[in-house]
Structures are given as C-alpha cells and as structure tokens.
Amino acid sequence: MTVRLEATTLVSGSSQAETLVLSEPLSFWGGLDSATGRIIDQWHPEKNEVMSGRILVMRAGRGSSSGSSVLAEALRRGTGPAGIVLLARDAIVTVGAMVAAELYGKTCPVVLASEADWAAITGAGYLAIEAGEDTATIDLDAG
C-alpha cells in the first residue's frame, strides 16, 4: 500500500529512489566528496555512506554557504542525491539544487516535509517525490 503525504516544494522536479536517512545534519562543504557522492565528514554518523542516486532525508543542512557549490557540483557530476527531503528550510541546500538545475540542467527536487509526517518518511526505505511549483507529494510504501 502506498501512502501519499503533502509537502512544500523548495525546488521542483520528480524523483524516486531508495532513501539515505541522516541522523545528523550534514554540511556539504567538507562533508561530501562531490567526485564520489560519499559522505567524508569524519564526525558524521553516516560517514562513508554514498548519496548518489538516493533520496537524501535529513532534518536540515549544517551550513557553510559554500555547501551550495559542492551540492551543485555533485549534481553536475551525477554523484549527488536524486532528491532531498528536509524538515527545516535550508537556503544553502535549496540554492545548490537550484544552481544545478539552472546551470547544468540537473534536476534534484527539494521538498519540505511536516513534523507530523517525519517518522513515516524516515522509516521508509523508498520514496517518490513529485514537486510542482508550490506543493509537492511524497509517496512512500507503507508495506
């Protein structure tokens, strides 16, 4: 059975993939190897996980304004996430995905989920995102 959740679009697009749920926020600057898509932040709990082609689920980003360029570069190389689900708005993550779409034609939908839906989203192993101009849906397999 598929469960459909409402979300807010930060960057439009559509994607479906296996999830990578982060237990802590990630700074792409110094935290992601854009050449491989691997998390390289030595203190991050998900160090060595690869986000390439997966939907990244994290509560929020963790700064450095240069993180936008690292995310955009990973998307350009095809090593970035297929989509991103956040619980808190993050301008750095959003700008990185917007730049990749504008400069490279690489789409990575970024959506904002609600606190009420967060447990279901982080428990899903596979998500489908459909992000329109303003609103988005997140489909998850409820088993």
Q: Which residues are catalytic?
A: 64
User: 3-class secondary structure for the chain?
Assistant: CEEEEEEEEEECEEEEEEEEECCCCECCCCCEECCCCEECCCCCCCCCCECCCCEEEECCECCCCCHHHHHHHHHHHCCCCCEEEECCCCHHHHHHHHHHHHHHCCCCCEEECCHHHHHHHHHCCEEEEEECCCEEEEEEECC
